[in-house]
Chain A
Amino acid sequence: GESVGLHLPTLSVQEGDNSIINCAYSNSASDYFIWYKQESGKGPQFIIDIRSNMDKRQGQRVTVLLNKTVKHLSLQIAATQPGDSAVYFCAEKGNTGFQKLVFGTGTRLLVSP
C-alpha cells in the first residue's frame, strides 16, 4: 500500500541555522506533495506544496525539493526561528483523481534560542 515516511523523528537546531526535514514516499505515481506544520494541540498548517512536474519550489524562508528518481522530498527552512518549533508532516496525493492525502509519520523540529 501507499506509505510516506520520514527519516528523522526529531531534529534539534540552533536559532539561525538552516533546517532540513526529509521525507521518503513509496507511491511513484503520486503527483502532488505538501508540507504541513502542526503545533501542539492545533490542526496542520499549510507550508508549501509542489507538483510532480517540478523539482524545486521556494516560498518565504522555505524550499521544497522533490527527487522523483529516489522518491524523496525535503523541506528546507532558512534561518530557523524558535517559532518554527513544531511537528512537520509531508503528505502526498496519488494520481487516481481522488483528493485524499497520505501523511508521513512526522518530524519534530526543536529550535533552541
Chain B
Amino acid sequence: GAVVSQHPSWVICKSGTSVKIECRSLDFQATTMFWYRQFPKQSLMLMATSNEGSKATYEQGVEKDKFLINHASLTLSTLTVTSAHPEDSSFYICSAIPTGGSSYEQYFGPGTRLTVT
C-alpha cells in the first residue's frame, strides 16, 4: 500500500517551453502533497506544499508563477514548470501524506528527471 507514482519519469524539453509533471497517490487519498527538487549529489529541497482545493504554499525563493501547482483532486497534484530554462534541469520528486493518517510519514514518488536543452 501507500504507493505514489509520477509521470513522466523523465522528460527532455527545449528552453522556453512548459512541462507538466503529475503526482498520483494510487491507493490512498492525500489532502497534502509536497514537491521537492533535487540537484545532483544534493539533498531534497522543498519547493512547495500542495493542498487539495486550495492554493499551494511556496517556500521562500521559489517562484510561484514559474512553478505552477494544481491539486484538483485527493489523488492528483501537478507541477508545471513554465518557460523552462537549462537551470531548471533537475530531479523533481513529490510526496504525499495519507488523509487522516496518524503518522507524519511522507510517501515519495519515484521522481521525474527534467532536462532542459
Contact = CB atoms under 8 A, between A and B. Distances in A.
Interface of A: 32, 34, 36, 41-46, 49, 89, 93, 98-106
Contacts of B113: 41
A106 B43 contact: yes
A42 B43 contact: no
Interface residues of B, number: 24
A97 to B, nearest CB: 11
Q: Which secondary structure dominates chain B's binding surface?
A: strand
Given A42-B111, A100-B34, A106-B42, 19 more contacts: A41-B91, A41-B113, A42-B110, A43-B93, A43-B95, A43-B108, A43-B109, A44-B44, A44-B108, A45-B108, A49-B105, A89-B43, A89-B44, A99-B97, A99-B104, A102-B46, A103-B43, A103-B45, A105-B42
Nearest to A6: B43
A34 B97 CA distance: 14
